[in-house]
Amino acid sequence: MDAASGLCVGCLRTLDEIAGWAAATDEQKRHILAAVARRRARRTDEPMADEGSA
């Protein structure tokens, strides 16, 4: 997890989003994936965090 953003550095989801994934509806999963796509787009110009903890 990235301490500053609170996101998993691999999948760009918050802990809440990961914890709730198995119980989420398809609609909720689509919402999360759309948010992940926005986060990924925002980060493309930034260097990727490189610490081991994903």
Where along the sequence are the contacts to another protein (CB under 8 A)? 1, 8-11, 13, 15, 18-19, 21-23, 25-26, 48, 50, 52-54
Report the C-alpha gap between 25 and 53 in whole angstroms. Answer: 28
- Dihedral of CA atoms 16, 19, 20, 22 in degrees, nearest 10, equals 160
What is the smallest separation between the CB atom of 21 and another protein, expressed in angstroms?
5
Q: Give me 38's structure tokens.
A: 């926005």
What is the smallest separation between the CB atom of 1 and another protein, expressed in angstroms?
6
What is the smallest separation between the CB atom of 16 and another protein, expressed in angstroms?
9
